[in-house]
Amino acid sequence: MSLPTYEEWTKNMSLTDQIKFHYDVDLDNFTGDPWEIVAEIAQTQGSNWLREFHKEFEENLREREYIR
């Protein structure tokens, strides 16, 4: 069976779901503010944080063999 592409794998995932999956965050049991995670990402990545997040997320999925 062939692995999906990044676009196929993430097409029905919200940004929140992508962040939860990438950072292994269980927001149902997370006592902090989930947007603090996004703010921290934005601070470390600058104005290109979303593009950089998607690049890092795609690489992570490929390494974990979720996508081709």
Report which secondary-structure segment, H or E, holds 6.
helix 6-10
> Which pLDDT does position 27 carry in this prediction?
61
> Which pLDDT does position 26 carry in this prediction?
64
Using a 10 angstrom Cβ sphere, with 0-12 exposed, 13-18 middle and 19 or more buried, the burial of residue 61 is: buried
Specify the pTM. 0.72
Q: Where are the domains of the chain?
A: 6-63
By the 8 A CB rule, do 67 and 3 touch?
yes
pLDDT digits (tens, 9 = 90+) for 4-49: 999 999 999 988 888 888 877 666 676 777 677 778 777 877 778 8
